[in-house]
Chains A and B, each alone.
Chain A
Amino acid sequence: MSEMTRRSFFGKTIAAIMGLIGLGLGIPLFGYAVLPTLRKREEPWSEVGPLNLVEINRPKEMDVVRSLSSGWMKTNTVRSIWAYKRPDGAVVAFSPICTHLGCGYRWSEGDQKFLCPCHNSVFDLDGRVLAGPAPRPLDALPTKVEGDRLFVLYQEFKAGLSKKEEI
């Protein structure tokens, strides 16, 4: 072998080994850092409880346990919703926060209305604004029923805007 081909053999072998180590380490490290960020967010449906606890045309405040996981961190937070059944059986759920400035409102059985104690906003059973400063109807939340259990997609929206905007 001439001196030049020897040199180029060494050079090529060195480059090949460096390439092997580089790729052998680089590809896993890239996947490690990037792949978890591309994972689809889990549908955060939260279980509310047995469907038969929800009454027809009589909104009730119900607890929802929200399970959030961020990597290794799993947190459970308890939130509430207002829920009732329409006569046709469809479940209606509202975010518990008044659309005006974020106070907690209540269902008044006597008035058959939702009343917000902070600034006197009033909503009907469908969440429409009847009186007061609230800029938009109550925020309805998606619900689904599996077997006899009720689930809700808990979300919070910014208060004070005429349009629903998720926080």
Chain B
Amino acid sequence: MNRVFSWLSDRLKLPPILHHLLDEAIPGGASWIYVFGSVTLFLFLMQAATGAFLALYYAPTPDHAYESVKFIQEEVPFGAFVRGMHHWGASAMMVAIGLHMLQVFLYGAYKPPREPMWIVGVFLLILTLTFGFTGYLLPWDQKAYWATQVGINLVGSVPWIGGILARILRGGAELGALTLSRFYSIHTLFLPWLIMFLIAGHLFILRRVGAAGPWDKARAKSVSEPFYPRQVFMDAVAMGGVFLALVALVTLFPAPLSDPADPTDTTFRPVPEWYYLFYYQLLKYSEGPWEPVVTFVLPVLFFTILFAIPFLGRKRERAPARRPIAIGAGALFLVFVFSLLGLAMKETASLKRTDPGVERGRAIYAKLACAGCHRIHGQGAQVGPDLSFVGDVRNRDWLIAHFKDPQAVVPGSFMPPVRLSAPELEDLTKYMLSLKKGPA
């Protein structure tokens, strides 16, 4: 290995390049607080790799998108792993970007001469959010369809140009085949190229102006340390930790896939991905004249402020203690966002609170292969009655009696009696009763 390396290094004259890449000076020395940028880059590369592999089996048409994702999730070896890593990797990237921005903000690292890096960074944030929004639609399940419907209609509420913007996004008047192929192309062709150029720009600026280091100028000047080995080591440890955490997450919580998209099912209540939740919550409070404020004025204001941050304070002062307004405003913003997120999560949790018996019943339903005869939301055979909304028409006593002896309750039925213990029968019944139209 070493021999091959020195052979290659000799011919390609690598030492000066390696020196340039690895010996970049870090003012104030290496620190764990600087790892978030590298972690974000790592996660982006992982999204690129897993995404390319997902595209091997994915079909971006309403007829086949859901089936192809189900195929990846259930039939392709490691398919659930690859899709899970891509799904949770997206969330992890949001967290990493958030922490990265927080660190840069706290350290005043966006101040001169690093304003261009901050501006490119805000564009990178916008691109990442667009990745999230366009990728969300691709599985073409209920969640995807309805969340995108809502997202595009939000754009549609922008004054004057909203209607046209929504049409351009949707690829027409209705959410359908053209929307899906459009989002797929944006997600897998347009955005990756754009983001790669911007990442290159972000790193180029970093190398031209140098890392910011600590806000204490005396400390920054007194200690300096090359990027390699300690900072690279810390970055690598952080990446390894994030990778293992993602593997654990994927193993414990597989990427979700709900029922196939059904434009006629208006009972479905879409909830966006967590990183849009705070905004979703804010929308609940905006009524009448306030609506355009929330759907248009606030987002525009937010990104304008974000872009303007490096030019707002005149002083080059970086110590947080001497930037009370900036730090106070930042803290206020965080409190605001996290309160909304907390409220949203509380409301969603209370909305979805289900008896654990329902889940056990669902497992029993699967184990007994009830879907061999019955259909629930398009899944299963149509030999026996469709059970999608059985909770609306039957009660507990009827169901229990029927499970025990179907023919006694429905003469002529050819359903075999369900032989289960009393508690299992109770769970299966709870699951049946949970199948209702509208919010349960």
A147 neighbours in B (Cβ, 8 Å): none
Is residue B19 contacting chain A, with contact meaning CB distance below 8 A? Answer: no
Alpha-carbon distance A24/B85, docked complex (angstroms): 11
> What is the chain B residue whose CB lies nearest that of A71?
B71
B50 neighbours in A (Cβ, 8 Å): 25, 29
Interface size class of A (residues with CB under 8 A): 20 to 34
Alpha-carbon distance A21/B81, docked complex (angstroms): 14
- A32 contacts B233, C-beta separation under 8 Å: no
- A25 contacts B46, C-beta separation under 8 Å: yes
Least CB distance from A9 to B in Å reads: 9
Contact A14 B78, CB 8 Å, known A25-B49, A72-B64, A72-B70 = no
Contact A29 B53, CB 8 Å, known A21-B239, A21-B243 = yes
- B77 contacts A36, C-beta separation under 8 Å: yes
Interface size class of B (residues with CB under 8 A): 20 to 34
B71 neighbours in A (Cβ, 8 Å): 71-72
- Contact mask for chain A residues 55-82; partner B; CB cutoff 8 A; 1 contact, 0 none: 0000000000000000111000000000
- A17 contacts B237, C-beta separation under 8 Å: yes
- A71 contacts B68, C-beta separation under 8 Å: yes
- A10 contacts B68, C-beta separation under 8 Å: no
Q: Is the interface of B mostly helix, strand, loop or mixed?
A: helix
- B76 contacts A14, C-beta separation under 8 Å: no
- B78 contacts A20, C-beta separation under 8 Å: no
- Contact mask for chain B residues 26-68; partner A; CB cutoff 8 A; 1 contact, 0 none: 0000000000000000000010011001001101000010011
Is residue A13 contacting chain B, with contact meaning CB distance below 8 A? Answer: yes
Contact of B76 (CB < 8 Å), options: A13, A21, A25, A36: A36
Alpha-carbon distance A14/B30, docked complex (angstroms): 15
Is residue B79 contacting chain A, with contact meaning CB distance below 8 A? Answer: yes
Alpha-carbon distance A80/B57, docked complex (angstroms): 32
- B53 contacts A32, C-beta separation under 8 Å: yes
Additional A-B contact list (5), CB under 8 Å, known A72-B68, A72-B75:
A14-B229, A28-B82, A36-B77, A72-B64, A72-B67
Please give the residue numbers on chain B whose beta carbons come within 8 Å of chain A beta carbons, in ascending order: 46, 49-50, 53, 56-57, 59, 64, 67-68, 70-71, 75-79, 81-82, 85, 228-230, 232-233, 236-237, 239-240, 243, 247
Please give the residue numbers on chain A whose beta carbons come within 8 Å of chain B beta carbons, in ascending order: 6-7, 10-11, 13-14, 17-18, 20-21, 24-25, 28-29, 31-33, 35-36, 71-73
Going nearest first, the 5 A-B pairs with the smallest beta carbon separation are A10-B229, A72-B71, A28-B78, A17-B240, A32-B78
